[in-house]
A and B are shown apart, each in its own frame.
Chain A
Amino acid sequence: MSAEGAAPRHPGAEGQLTAGAALTLEGLTAGYDSRPVVNEVSITVAPGEIVSVVGPNGSGKSTLLKAVIGIVQVLGGRVRLDDQEITGWLPEDVARAGVGYVPQVDDVFPPLTVRENLEMGGYLLPTREVQSRLDEVVTVFPRLATMLGRRAGKISGGERKMLAMARAMMLHPRLFVLDEPTANLAPAVASEVLEEHVRGLARRGATALIVEQRARAVLAISDRTYVLAGGRLRMEGSPEELRSSPQFVASFLGGSAGVADIVSESEPGSPP
C-alpha cells in the first residue's frame, strides 16, 4: 500500500492539462499559534495520481492542506514538490511553484465577475496568454461560458465550485489541492462536482490531493486514500483495500461502528 508501489491510473491520458508533479509530505506537523492540529503526517502523491484524505470533522484535513499551500504554519516536517522543498513557503510562492488550490469555503471572489475570477486565477500568466487560457478552461467548464459577466457572488453553490476549480486550472497547475469540493452542496450537485469535474481532472492526467467528507464518492475517483483522525494518519490504501476493511466500512461507508474505533484500534500509518 505504499505510494512507491502505486501505479498512477491516468498517465498520459489524452487531453492532458498539466505535467503533474509529485508531492511528498514527510512527518508534517502543522497548526495555529504553535499548537499542532496535524501531527507527523506523511503522504505521497505521485505524478498523475488522485490521492484523497478522508476523516471526520475536526480531524485536521483542511489544516493539512492549508499547511501544504502555506496558509497555516508548519511546525515540523517537510513538504516537497518534486525535488523542491516548499515547506513554509508563502501561498503566493507555492502558487508560483505550480500548485492550484480550491478552498472549502470562500472559494471565489464574490464582487468580481466570473471572467475576472478566472483572470485572477491566471494572474501569473503573461497578459497576452490570459484570454487564450481562459478560453481553454471554459471549454472544460462550458457552463461558465454563459455566465462570464455575472458576479461570482450571485451564482449558485455548484457553479461557484466549478468556477473555483476553473480558476485553479488557469495557471496550468502541476498539482491540484482540493479542500472538500462538495462541501455545502446539495447531493445531486455534489455528485456532479465529483463525477464530472474532479474525475475530469483525473481523466486529463492531473495530479491532485483531495480532502473530502463523502468517503464513498471520493473512493470512486481516487488512486489511493489516507484516513486522518485526531490529527494523525490512521489508515492508507487503495479504494479496494479500504472497501475491504471492516473498520473503514464501519466508520465511513455506513457501518455500525464509529471513527473512534479507527482511532483507538489503529496505530498511525498502519494498514487496515
Chain B
Amino acid sequence: MSLLLASLGFGLVTAAVLALATVGFTLQFAVTDVLNLAFGAVMIVAAYVAYWVNQAGISVWLGLVAAAIVGSLLSLVLNRFIYAPFQRRRTSSIALVIVALGLTLILEFGLQAFVGGTSVSYQLAQGPTVGSGGFQLTVVQLVIIALALAAMVAVHALLTFTRLGKAMRATAANRSLARTCGIRSDRVVTVTWLLSGALCGVAGTVFAVDAGSFNATSADLFLVLILAAAFLGGPGKAYGAMLGALVIGLATEVSAAYISPAYKDVVAFVLLFAMLAWRPTGLLGDRA
C-alpha cells in the first residue's frame, strides 16, 4: 500500500510537470497549426537560463521567471523566422514536422556545444518532507504541483473568461471564420507563441528541478511523454492536455513502482495506443 501511495505522490509531481508542458504544447498546436517538436529543446534552453541565474546566486524560482521570458521570446523567434515563413509558402504539415525535428537538433547540439555534455543541477534545498504513510512529498515538489495548478487555473480563466482566450479558441477552431469576424488572427497567433513559450520555459525549469540534474538532451524522452499526454487528451484540447498529463503522469510512476522504471515510457504509449484504438480523437476530442 505504501508503495502505491509513494508512486502516486511521484505520479502527481510528474503529472504537474507534464501538465505545464503539455498545455503549452497543445495550445501552440491548436492555434498555430504547428506541431512544434522543438518544444522540448526550448524547455531545456530555458532550464539552462534558470541554471545560469541560479549560478549567479539567485533563487531558482526567480530563474524560473527568466526561463519563462526566454522560452516565450525563443518560441516567438522560432515562429517568426522559421515556422511562419514555411507556413506562408504553404509547406505541408509533415514537412513542418521535419523542420521542427531539424530545429530540435540545432538547438540541442548548439546548446551542447556551448555548455558541454555533462549534466548540471540547480542549487536548491528540497525542504522538509510532508505527508503521511507512503505518501510523502517535499516542499519543492509541493511547489511544483501548486505552480501547475495555478497555471491550469490561469489557462482556464484565460480561455473561458477573456476576449483574447475566446479569440484564441475561435482561431484554433476556424481561423478563416475568425478573420471574417474581425479577429486579427496573426496577432492571436503571436500572443499564443508568447504564452505557450512562457509555459514551455516554466515547464523546462520545473522539469529540471524534478529531474535533479539535466543536460542539453534531457528533454528528448520527456517530449515523447508530452506527445502521449497531448494526444491522449485530444490534440489541440487544453483540458484534454491537463487530463492526459494526469493519466500519463500517474500511470508512468505507478508502473515504474510495480513493473520497472525502464518500462514507464512504454506504459505511456501502451495507454496511448489503447486510447486511440478506443477513441481516436482522444479523451476530450470531438467524436469523429
Contact = CB atoms under 8 A, between A and B. Distances in A.
Interface of A: 69-71, 90-92, 94-96, 101, 103, 106-112, 116, 119-121, 123-124, 127, 153, 167, 171
Given A101-B180, A109-B174, A120 B166 contact: yes
A232 to B, nearest CB: 26
Given A124-B181, A167-B181, 13 more contacts: A91-B176, A92-B180, A92-B182, A95-B180, A95-B181, A109-B174, A119-B163, A119-B166, A120-B170, A120-B181, A121-B181, A127-B163, A153-B286
B156 interface: no
Contacts of A112: 166, 169-170, 173
A91 B169 contact: no
Contacts of B184: 92
A109 B179 contact: no
Interface in B142-185: 163, 166-167, 169-170, 172-174, 176-185
B177 A106 contact: yes
A110 B170 CA distance: 9
A127 B172 CA distance: 22
A197 to B, nearest CB: 18
Q: Which 7 A-B pairs have the closest CB atoms?
A: A95-B182, A91-B179, A124-B182, A109-B173, A101-B180, A91-B180, A120-B170
Interface of B: 163, 166-167, 169-170, 172-174, 176-185, 286
A71 B161 CA distance: 29
Contacts of A167: 181
Contacts of A91: 176, 179-180
Contacts of B172: 111
Contacts of B167: 120, 123
Nearest to A91: B179
A24 B173 CA distance: 32
Contacts of B169: 109, 111-112, 116
Contact of B286 (A103, A110, A121): A110
Nearest to B173: A109
B179 A92 contact: yes
A120 B184 CA distance: 12
A128 B178 CA distance: 21
Contacts of A103: 176-177, 180
Contacts of B178: 109, 120
A92 B185 CA distance: 8
A123 B286 contact: no
Nearest to A119: B166
B32 to A, nearest CB: 16
A106 B174 contact: yes
12 contacts: A69-B180, A71-B176, A96-B182, A101-B180, A106-B177, A109-B170, A110-B173, A112-B173, A120-B167, A120-B178, A123-B183, A171-B182
B177 A116 contact: no
A127 B166 CA distance: 13
Chain A CB count within 10 A is highest, among B172, B176, B179, for B179
A108 B169 CA distance: 12
B282 to A, nearest CB: 13
B182 A111 contact: no
Nearest to A96: B182
B170 A71 contact: no
B180 A71 contact: yes
A123 B163 contact: yes
Nearest to A109: B173
Contacts of B163: 119, 123, 127
Chain B CB count within 10 A is highest, among A90, A95, A112, A120, for A120
A5 B286 CA distance: 51
B180 A120 contact: no
A71 B169 CA distance: 20
A193 to B, nearest CB: 18
Nearest to B178: A120
Chain B CB count within 10 A is highest, among A70, A96, A119, A127, for A119
Chain A CB count within 10 A is highest, among B180, B184, B286, for B180
A123 to B, nearest CB: 5
Contacts of B183: 92, 120, 123
A114 to B, nearest CB: 13
Given A109-B173, A112-B173, A90 B179 contact: yes
A71 B175 CA distance: 11
Given A116-B166, A119-B166, A111 B181 contact: no
Contacts of A95: 179-182
A174 to B, nearest CB: 14
Contacts of A121: 181
Contacts of B185: 92
Nearest to B166: A116
A120 B286 CA distance: 21
A124 B178 CA distance: 11
B242 to A, nearest CB: 16
A161 to B, nearest CB: 14
Contacts of B174: 106, 109
